[in-house]
A and B are shown apart, each in its own frame.
Chain A
């Protein structure tokens, strides 16, 4: 009797679990479902009195039209340049800093870590006026290079945070042995630490790439020439004041989302443990 009761209870809990998880997934996917369906509809179908959920006739041509109606290829290329450039600079500056924080003891270490945390409180949007001034002085307003530097700088905290956690989780013994064998610190880092830390480094790299790819606010404010806008800002060409071309907006959005979602899935596991580990270890 007792064990049968427990089995029943288990079965019900299982069904309940599936029920809730499936519903949550449906809710999460709903906006994406709407996006895809709308991207495949014609304009008149979207604004029709009696709307339909699925497109009556799939307009695959929407996915072709956007490349003519807007400089989509340019937007895409700009996003790639901004994201790759920011990632490269953030890593070149962040790796040595994270290494020093993980492996050396020096005065001001705590202050530097403290500053990194405080710098997180200044989202670029709060500092836009100041950023705009700096860009004016360096004549970097309305340029991709300006956006690259801003993205790299505002991602420094995360870069250092994640990498420091990765480096600290790896024993320093091997590097010390290499130093005794005549390697200097730079060689020891490149030859021994970085290969071992590769998974953490790739996670960090992809995370910064995604952040820079998804950045909207600074680009909106700094870039005025249409041909140097990234995707996030550029696609709003279909989001006019008087008329929104939903089908084109969403077709273009899908191109902006897909690469990032795939990248993100590949790092999700390492990223979350890295984020919290860096924080918990303080």
Chain B
């Protein structure tokens, strides 16, 4: 037994050697930045970005007392909920449609891939062009179809702009939900439906009692990932309005970007980051608890 000891030690260390490169990569470029952000959130930071000692919750209280923060937080929550909920519902319905056998299904699937593959900056630029009042494509289209006579101002208020940003967000998120739901749908055994049909179940009974419970795991993963991505999504708002006017279309991430890189308030920006992280942590821990439970089963 004794002469085997060094071998055993190596054996025990082996898995850690395998994960080491990945751990180093993530440590330097994710964990260290997280550390910096937390440190800056609790420090006085000069305009040049130099950290000048601990200052407790001063940055947080400055952020929370800021006139715009409440509105920005409200925008972020509205943005996240509307985009995630609507894209999940619409994406699921689209998946149900595409799950049928029909001619041209492959083409339809290929088309649905487009918004997922396109970088958000470009997608948002096109939307910005489409909704323009003076020369936008939407007005041109509706005029030539005879639906409107004069150019319509689609973005009379900042809220309208924000609405379009939400629409764009839903548009680009649908494919991801659709395809995850579709892969769930296709793994359902057809015999369930046959049995239910024999029992005289209606379409909606089958949908509710067979399809939904079986697709739920796929949809849950998609929804959790979506909450995180949509919450942290930067390019759409940045391209269409940059959060203007006066932060009325800002979400937390565009707000903190401006705080850090335009206004030189890195301490406050770091505090906003920490607040955003805490909000997401609540969402993710719900998910983590449920997956880890599954792992135990």
Q: Which A residues are within 8 Å of any B CB, using their own CB?
A: 14, 17-18, 20-21, 24-25, 28-32, 34-35, 37-38, 46-48, 51-53, 89, 92-94, 96-97, 99-101, 104-106, 109-110, 112, 114-115, 117-123, 125-134, 149-150, 152-154, 156, 160, 185, 210, 213-214, 216-217, 221, 232, 235-236, 239, 246, 249-250, 253, 256-257, 260-261, 263-265, 268-269, 271-273, 275-276, 279-280, 282
Complex A-B: 9 CB contacts under 8 Å: A34-B126, A34-B137, A104-B14, A129-B49, A150-B29, A152-B25, A216-B235, A246-B129, A249-B125
| Cβ-defined partner of A25 (8 Å) among B16, B33, B108, B234 | B108
Q: Total number of A-B contacts with CB less than 8 angstroms? A: 272
Cβ B184 vs Cβ A276 within 8 A? yes
How far is it, in angstroms, between the C-alpha of A62 and the C-alpha of B24 when the chains are bound? 46
Q: Does B100 contact A (CB under 8 A)?
A: yes
**Chain A residues, Cβ within 8 Å of B273:** 126-127, 129
Cβ A31 vs Cβ B182 within 8 A? no
Nearest A residue to B218, CB-CB: A276
Cβ B97 vs Cβ A214 within 8 A? no
Cβ B221 vs Cβ A275 within 8 A? yes
Q: Which of B73-126 contact A (CB under 8 A)?
A: 94, 97-98, 100, 102, 104, 107-123, 125-126
| Cβ-defined partner of B253 (8 Å) among A47, A123, A236, A260 | A123
**Chain B residues, Cβ within 8 Å of A127:** 30, 33-34, 37, 273
Which of A48, A152, A250, A280 is the most central at the interface, judged by chain B CB atoms within 10 Å of its CB? A280
Contact A121 B114, CB 8 Å, known A21-B102, A96-B21, A97-B21:
no
| Cβ-defined partner of A122 (8 Å) among B28, B30, B109, B287 | B30
Nearest A residue to B38, CB-CB: A130
How far is it, in angstroms, between the C-alpha of A49 and the C-alpha of B114 when the chains are bound? 31
Cβ A153 vs Cβ B21 within 8 A? no
Cβ A282 vs Cβ B135 within 8 A? no
Q: Does B229 contact A (CB under 8 A)?
A: yes
Cβ B97 vs Cβ A21 within 8 A? yes
Q: Which B residues are within 8 Å of any A CB, using their own CB?
A: 12, 14-16, 18-19, 21-26, 28-30, 32-37, 40, 49, 94, 97-98, 100, 102, 104, 107-123, 125-127, 129-130, 134-135, 137, 139-141, 143-144, 171, 179-180, 182-184, 187, 217-218, 220-222, 225, 228-229, 232, 234-235, 238, 253, 256-257, 260-261, 266, 269-270, 273, 276-277, 280-281, 284, 287-288, 291-292, 294-295
Nearest A residue to B110, CB-CB: A265
Contact A133 B36, CB 8 Å, known A126-B253, A239-B125:
yes
